[in-house]
Structure 1
Amino acid sequence: MARIIIKKGHNIQISGVPSLDLVNAGQTVSVAYLPEEFRYIKPKLLVNEGDTVKIGTPLFFDKKIPDVKWAALGSGKISAIHYGQRRVIEKIIIVVDKNEETLEHAYYDHQEITNLTNDQVKDQLLSAGMWPLIRQRPFNKIANPRDLPDSIFISCYNSAPLSVDLDVALRNRRSSFQAGITALSKLTEGKVNVVVDENCTSDTFKDLQHAETHLISGPHPAGNVGIQIHNINPLTPRKVIWTVNVQHVVTIGRLFLKGIFDPSLIIAIGGPGVKNPIHLKSRMGASIQSLVTDRLHDVSHRMVSGDVLTGSTVDKDDFIHYYNSAVASIPHSDKRTFLGMLHPGSSKSHYSLTHTYFKFGTSTFPFSTLQNGEERAMLPINTWENVLPMDILPNQLYRAIIANDIEEMEQLGLIECDEEDFALCSFSCPSKIDVGNVIRQGLDMLEAEV
């Protein structure tokens, strides 16, 4: 067991933190896949518009690795398939039936799962269309089932602002969580590393079998799996590590215990634009409309699928993304403070980046979309270094990427990075540089070379 203390970072104090109450969102009218959110794949459809599908029916597969399929998130009729330029599949929408049906697979008890082989676990996940739940580092892409990972990481600490509370998400789900860990342990000759908040009191993470539990404390991004990998089992050029979202471990466990793909998901609805921030029981791919109806203040706002640092802008007609478990509403604003530079620090309605450098106060603030300026000349004054808890030189790495110097990127440790780990660098940057986006550009270049 490792005990990790993260000192660099910052907890952004946004108002509208979801309460710990859990409410059933009811059945969503429709669900959808957005194939473009899956990096480096070439999707090919297995269904047509108008087809009727069950939960778990394969909808499309990756032409690069044909065994990897995506299972339907709802039972009903495929109402629309949207295409972009060059016939790129943008969206697959299913109108959900009132009485849903689910494809069935083999199921086991806990002891039987313990006795399964690597191939049996792999075949079950692939045939159920659930393999995309497993991602790999480097590049944070869907894992290749032909690889043997050095280890598997599960982050059980959500440190990002307005993210789902895992005590709520895993309430009464210990059996499925343990089954998921046991199944995942068959996919590696190394360890399944479960990283838990040191202050967590949930019984779900106690005395887990077939896994090694680590404790972590500190501000965001302590909960990012990339930070945890960096501190426990750092990546090297030839090493592959797999990662799984904590709620998806439960989904995998239910596949083996019940023989079905259960896409249910606990989703946090929060932010200054939400009337009553709360946790909802819904499902993967649910429509945003079904989650936020009658829950938003009557103001202009920006909807975000995912946490506010790394999520994607959506509107009410969109759908929550495959790997997301939060929806946030942030009010729009273009109202600048006159001579704001002369008023450092925070007020009752204004949050200052001073908090990023000096830790004080626990008040929350009604954040808006206002950036207080646009991208400008780069100021290397250690703002990125103050919030990045990695042994990496972000300034030099950024310069290597914009210079397209692949060899320099590798030497500076790009292979250990993901854009979510640099989100606070973007937030705190006085030059308004989207550092995370540049990191992704570098990873894309490096992946193309590989």
Structure 2
Amino acid sequence: MSKLVKLKKGFDINLAGKAEKKVEAFPMVKTFAIKPTDFLGMERPKVLVKEGDTVKAGTPILFDKKMEKVQFVAPVSGEVVEIKRGEKRKLLEIKILADSEIEFESFEKLTDGDIQAASREKLIDHMTQSGVWPQIIQRPFGIIANPADEPKAIYISGFDSHPLAPDYELLFKGQEKAFQTGVDVLKKLTEGKVYLGLKAEGAVPAAFATVKGAEVNKFSGPHPAGNVGVQIHHIDPINKGDIVWTVSPFGVAQIGKLFLNGIYDASKVIALTGSELKKAAYVNTYLGACVDSFVAGNTKSDHVRVISGNVLTGSKVNADGYLGYYDHQITVIPEGDYEEFLGWIKPSTTKLSFHKAIGMLSFLNKDKEYIVDTNTHGEERPFVVSGAFEKVTPMDILPTYLFKAIHAEDYDEMEELGIYELVEEDVALCEFIDPSKNEIQALLRSGIELLMYS
């Protein structure tokens, strides 16, 4: 039975630099890259190509030795121009110089009837060999799902509540059939249900409005209402021993396109956002695009931070860096490498802050759009128990005590306090409002890894 979940805890970060709702033309992206660092839990990547090789979209280029069945494939056709490694030969990027017209590897097409008649094993084999499987993420731990497991349910969040989040209506326009086919495939992978979480307010994106075979639940309230982890918590919380899978709407549509068209289609619409962009808009590209085509000559100054993703959970990239595998947004904000005397304690009418003593007017003028930079306005200091974390975590857990348990490496306490329900995005607001300036997302990941490898 569908639910309407009204969330009160959380915090909306209203930033300047929203993308204008139209797709703009930008210079052609020349290079694309797959970055193993985008895949949490990947331990032993094995490269299947060498520099100078030519590939098509869908050609296997990489796999993880601990899960050899899952192939990571080229997002575009072209020439492998660099296999970049770091310290101790750690694999960082596989770069591809793209063809002007993309060529595709051919995979088997399956009709609706074929999908219904196919075994679960056949569908999984098709998805792992063609490159779409990494779109399926396992909870707990937030890692790529193991095809050998069977989840108790599969969850899709149909909206994004992060700062400057893109409009899903625009991102998935015209993909109704692909999304439905993706849902049909996912239904065959679990004995449980496929859940779709939608925003309670406003119009439902056309791609999700008529979907069949998924239980639709609606959520209202501030960020992190759009986080799939929050939605799971209010539908059927994850307990020790449970496995659930999550898939982004892009991943669902990509799975659908594989079965409908027989190709690995990495095309996507992404949002260019942030106060420091001259032109904040949407653009058609492919997964792993080099950001220089969107950023070069499009910033108001040279002293900026380019982020693949959003300001809470995204990753810093160079001006010639690459879009993250799971990101559908690029954000550009001012760099904050300056010192500010008593900056962490001075009340301000211009700073955005969750704490009323500092950001006094952010509560009086909720429609104001703020320009934020990367300055933390203070240094890391002893862990302060302020009670603020609980106000931005709309889940029945005690985040302050959980973080202390991770610090103490208390395995039993971590489990009892709900670590299995969380990944980094679920505690990003805690990091944003933390008066102690702790790297809480990294702290949570350290706790997750303690349990993963114990």
TM-score normalised by length of structure 1: 0.95
**1:189 corresponds to which of 183, 188, 191:** 191
Q: Give the corresponding residue for 1:353.
A: 354
**Matched-pair contact (CA < 8 Å) for 1:50–1:79:** yes
Q: Pairwise mapping of residues 63-74 of structure 1 onto structure 2 (< 5 A)?
A: 63-74=65-76
Residue 67 of structure 1 and its aligned partner are, at CA, apart by 0.5
State whether structure 2 residue 163 is matched by structure 1 residue 146. Answer: no
**1:297 corresponds to which of 295, 300, 303:** 300
Residue 413 of structure 1 and its aligned partner are, at CA, apart by 1.2
Taking the aligned partners of 2:179 and 2:3, their CA distance within structure 1 comes to 21
Measured against aligned partners, the alpha-carbon deviations of 1:90-148 in whole angstroms (never above 9, x if no partner) come to 11001011132100111133343333331221111011022111110000000000000
**Matched-pair contact (CA < 8 Å) for 2:398–2:417:** yes
**Matched-pair contact (CA < 8 Å) for 1:3–1:214:** yes
**One-letter amino acid matched to 1:38:** F
**Matched-pair contact (CA < 8 Å) for 2:230–2:426:** yes
Q: Give the corresponding residue for 1:211.
A: 214
Q: Pairwise mapping of residues 326-337 of structure 1 onto structure 2 (< 5 A)?
A: 326-335=329-338
Residue 378 of structure 1 and its aligned partner are, at CA, apart by 2.1
Partner secondary structure for residue 453 of structure 2 = helix
**One-letter amino acid matched to 2:121:** D
Structure 2's unaligned 5+ residue stretches are: none
Q: Give the corresponding residue for 2:53.
A: 51
Residue 18 of structure 1 and its aligned partner are, at CA, apart by 1.1
Q: Give the corresponding residue for 1:239.
A: 242
Q: Give the corresponding residue for 2:432.
A: 427
**1:362 corresponds to which of 360, 364, 367:** 367
**Greater mean alpha carbon deviation, residues 268-277 or residues 81-90:** 81-90
Partner secondary structure for residue 80 of structure 1 = strand
State whether structure 2 residue 107 is matched by structure 1 residue 105. Answer: yes
Q: Give the corresponding residue for 2:13.
A: 12
Indicate how the Cα distance of structure 1 residues 338 and 90 shifts in structure 2: closer, same or farther if over 3 A, else same.
closer
Taking the aligned partners of 2:128 and 2:342, their CA distance within structure 1 comes to 58
Q: Pairwise mapping of residues 116-127 of structure 1 onto structure 2 (< 5 A)?
A: 116-127=118-129
**Matched-pair contact (CA < 8 Å) for 1:304–1:311:** yes
**One-letter amino acid matched to 1:91:** E
Q: Pairwise mapping of residues 398-417 of structure 1 onto structure 2 (< 5 A)?
A: 398-417=403-422
Taking the aligned partners of 1:26 and 1:242, their CA distance within structure 2 comes to 37
**2:268 corresponds to which of 261, 265, 269:** 265
Partner secondary structure for residue 250 of structure 2 = helix
Taking the aligned partners of 2:54 and 2:208, their CA distance within structure 1 comes to 39
**Matched-pair contact (CA < 8 Å) for 2:11–2:354:** no
Indicate how the Cα distance of structure 1 residues 135 and 24 shifts in structure 2: closer, same or farther if over 3 A, else same.
farther
State whether structure 2 residue 316 is matched by structure 1 residue 313. Answer: yes
**Matched-pair contact (CA < 8 Å) for 1:299–1:331:** no
Taking the aligned partners of 2:270 and 2:324, their CA distance within structure 1 comes to 11
Taking the aligned partners of 1:174 and 1:204, their CA distance within structure 2 comes to 4
**1:60 corresponds to which of 62, 65, 69:** 62
**One-letter amino acid matched to 2:386:** I
Measured against aligned partners, the alpha-carbon deviations of 1:218-246 in whole angstroms (never above 9, x if no partner) come to 11111111111111111011110001111
Q: Give the corresponding residue for 1:30.
A: 31
Indicate how the Cα distance of structure 1 residues 185 and 343 shifts in structure 2: closer, same or farther if over 3 A, else same.
same
Taking the aligned partners of 1:93 and 1:204, their CA distance within structure 2 comes to 32
Taking the aligned partners of 1:260 and 1:26, their CA distance within structure 2 comes to 25
State whether structure 2 residue 453 is matched by structure 1 residue 448. Answer: yes
Aligned CA RMSD, in angstroms, stands at 1.7
Taking the aligned partners of 2:114 and 2:202, their CA distance within structure 1 comes to 30
Q: Give the corresponding residue for 1:377.
A: 382
**Matched-pair contact (CA < 8 Å) for 2:343–2:378:** no
Taking the aligned partners of 1:70 and 1:339, their CA distance within structure 2 comes to 48
**One-letter amino acid matched to 2:52:** G
**Matched-pair contact (CA < 8 Å) for 2:53–2:79:** yes
**Matched-pair contact (CA < 8 Å) for 2:197–2:231:** yes
Taking the aligned partners of 1:267 and 1:341, their CA distance within structure 2 comes to 34
Q: Give the corresponding residue for 1:85.
A: 87
Q: Give the corresponding residue for 2:223.
A: 220
TM-score normalised by length of structure 2: 0.95
State whether structure 2 residue 391 is matched by structure 1 residue 386. Answer: yes
Structure 1's unaligned 5+ residue stretches are: none
**Matched-pair contact (CA < 8 Å) for 2:27–2:294:** no
Taking the aligned partners of 1:212 and 1:118, their CA distance within structure 2 comes to 21
**Matched-pair contact (CA < 8 Å) for 1:29–1:287:** yes
Q: Give the corresponding residue for 2:280.
A: 277
Partner secondary structure for residue 67 of structure 1 = strand
Partner secondary structure for residue 242 of structure 1 = strand
Partner secondary structure for residue 267 of structure 1 = strand
Residue 335 of structure 1 and its aligned partner are, at CA, apart by 4.8
Measured against aligned partners, the alpha-carbon deviations of 1:372-419 in whole angstroms (never above 9, x if no partner) come to 111112221211111111111111111111111112111111111111
Taking the aligned partners of 1:389 and 1:20, their CA distance within structure 2 comes to 30
Residue 323 of structure 1 and its aligned partner are, at CA, apart by 0.7
